[in-house]
Structure formats: C-alpha cells, structure tokens
Amino acid sequence: MTTSKPATNTDPNALGRVTFLDGQGDLPMLEISTPWSTAEIYLLGAHVTQFKKKDEPPLLFLSQCSRFNEGHPIRGGIPVIFPWFGQREGLGQHGFARVKSWDLKEVLPAPDGSVSVRFRLPDCPEAAAFPPFTADYVVTVNQSLTLQLIVTNQSKDAEFTFENCLHTYFEVADATAISIHGLKGVSYLDKVASFLEKTETSDALRVASEVDRIFLNTAGTVEILDPRIGRRIRVEKQSSASTVVWNPWIAKSRQMSDFGDEEYEHMICVESGNVASNSISLPPGGISTLTVKLSSETLK
C-alpha cells in the first residue's frame, strides 16, 4: 500500500510527508520526507533503517546482508534494545523488542515540516516475565533525528528493572580513519578483554582492531569525526548513563551471516542507553524516557 499524510502548511516546499510502503522482504515500512531529510522506519522492531540529510551521504549504516524476516533482527540502522542488553541465559540476545512488529499509533506532521511518528510495543508472551509495562517509541525527523523510548511501569506494587539501548550503526568512509570524542576519563567494561574494567585515557578513541566497550556513568555528548566524508556526527542524549562503542573487525564480521565480511570498514556503533550497572529500576507507576538526538555537520 502507498498512502501519504502531509503536514498542514501553506508552503508546499515545507511539507513533511509520510508514505506507507512494503519494504524489503515485503515488511511494512514508513518512508518519511521533510524539507531537510528523508528517513525509513520498519514496523519490525520500530527499526529506523535510514536517515539522510539532502546534502550528505546516509548517516546510518545498513548491512547489505541483513535479513528482513519476521522474528529476525535487522542488521544496521537503529535497533531498539529492550528490556535487556547482551546475552541473558536461556533467552535471545538484546531483548525481544527488536524482533517484534510494533504498532503505529500516531503520525504527527508539524507545521514547520518536521514529522513525528509514535509506535507502541504490543503485548507479547515474552513480556509476561516482567511486571506490566508499556513501551512507546517516538521518532522525530527534521534537520536531525530524535528518538525517545518511553517505558512506563504499570504495576501497582512491583518494581520494573530493565536495560535499554538505541544500538545506532553509523556509516563512515573508513573506520580506521575516524576518531570518537567525548569519552576521555570514563570507565568502561572491555568485552574483548573478558569484561575487564578499564578507563579511557585518550582524547580521541580510534579503531584499529575489534572494539566492544560499555562506557559507564557517562551522560556526555559523543562526537564522531569522519575526515574522509568531511562530517562531524553528534550523539546527544538524556536519561542515558551508558555509551557503547562497537566495531566487530575482521574475525567477528566473518562469523555473522547477516553482515558482510568487509563491512566493518564502513561502520561504527555508538549506542546510547542504560546497561549493566546502569540498568533502570522503575517504581510502580514510574516513567523512564531515553532521548537521543543525532545530528551532523560539515567538518571545517
């Protein structure tokens, strides 16, 4: 199906538009167009697979080998990780939110040309292991991409403890040429070194081998400088105490069936959330809103 919902605006060049399409694997998808940018979001996982400003290369990396099948995560873009991060004994990796088809609840074009869409995680058997909750996800597209994961504990008497993470894959020209700024002095768990706790000592984190680090107790903005593209990417966040940096490098890339052997050269994950010791415990009736804003500008 193909239908559109334009914003109300007297200037036709400033309209935001949402088109409903069958995407890859015939999965339902939203295509969003604004005066500044375009984006694609699949209902599977409420998964943003593309954000592109009109004068720039794509901001998000999407693997050419990604599966687009119900019940399987999409490789690349922005997976929504909830209600746990990483492995959990007897259960799938990174929670169940990224492999469920979310319900589209609202399409909200704004008069200035911005477009917001709101999704809700539907009831599912896996949620029965937790206190009753709702999870909403609001994506706003304009000159930047803003993401809000809103979790409400609907229990009257039970605390709800969970992890969340927006597992963002960024497109870069050459992973070995980029630098990541904003993490100096922050303690991290180094998964490559059996989760040994270390402290980042460099002003600029660079990639020259497999990187898999959970930076803890950090709310700061992170920037990715990509001199080959000539772009600075800013990752701003609120209500997030963790930042994860990941590049699988050579061996891990070859082990992943939904990831190209050489694709590690063109991606870096800088993920925002609350994981490990930064997990969230919501009291009955409590609300948690994880907000991440992704923006970019030309490197001067």
What tens digit of pLDDT does each residue of 196-234 get?
999 999 999 999 999 999 999 999 999 999 999 999 999
Number of Cβ within 10 Å of residue 179's Cβ equals: 15
Tell me the whole-structure pTM to 2 decimals: 0.94
Using CA of residue 255, residue 259, residue 261, residue 267, what is the dihedral sign? negative
What is the DSSP pairing of strand 204-205 with strand 211-215?
unpaired
Number of Cβ within 10 Å of residue 208's Cβ equals: 9
Catalytic residue among 47, 167, 200, 223: 167
- Quick check: bond before 111 cis, omega within 30? no
pLDDT of res. 13: 53
Number of Cβ within 10 Å of residue 3's Cβ equals: 8
Is 263 an annotated catalytic residue?
no
Q: What is the mean pLDDT of residues 97-119?
A: 97
Q: What is the mean pLDDT of residues 15-27?
A: 95
Per the CB < 8 A criterion, the answer to whether 273 and 86 are in contact is no
Q: In what order do the strands lie in the sheet with 4-6?
A: 4-6, 17-22, 28-33, 37-42, 47-53
> Model confidence over 138-152: pLDDT tens digits?
999 999 999 999 999
Q: How confident is the model at residue 75 (pLDDT cuts 50, 70, 90)?
A: very high
Range from 63-77, 87-101, 140-154, 199-213 carrying the lowest mean pLDDT: 87-101
Phi, psi of 137 (to 5 degrees): -135, 120
- Of 217, 187, 212, 198, nearest to 269 (Cα)? 212
Entry field: residues in the chain: 300
Number of Cβ within 10 Å of residue 1's Cβ equals: 7
pLDDT of res. 4: 43
Per the CB < 8 A criterion, the answer to whether 130 and 160 are in contact is yes
Characterize 211-244 residue by residue with b for buried, 16 or more Cβ atoms within 10 angstroms of its Cβ, and e for exposed.
bbbbbbebebebbbbbeebebbbbbbbebbbbbb
Copy the structure tokens of residue 56. 């720039």
- Quick check: bond before 83 cis, omega within 30? yes
Question: ∠ at Cα 143 (240, 233), nearest 5°?
Answer: 55
Q: How confident is the model at residue 1 (pLDDT cuts 50, 70, 90)?
A: very low
Query: What is the identity of the amino acid at 287?
Result: I
Query: What is the identity of the amino acid at 112?
Result: D
Number of Cβ within 10 Å of residue 157's Cβ equals: 8
pLDDT of res. 87: 87
pLDDT of res. 67: 93
Is 271 an annotated catalytic residue?
yes
For the domain bounded by 4-298, which CATH number is listed?
2.70.98.10
What lies within 8 Å, CB to CB, of 266 at 6+ separation is: 61, 171, 172, 173, 174, 175
Per the CB < 8 A criterion, the answer to whether 224 and 180 are in contact is yes
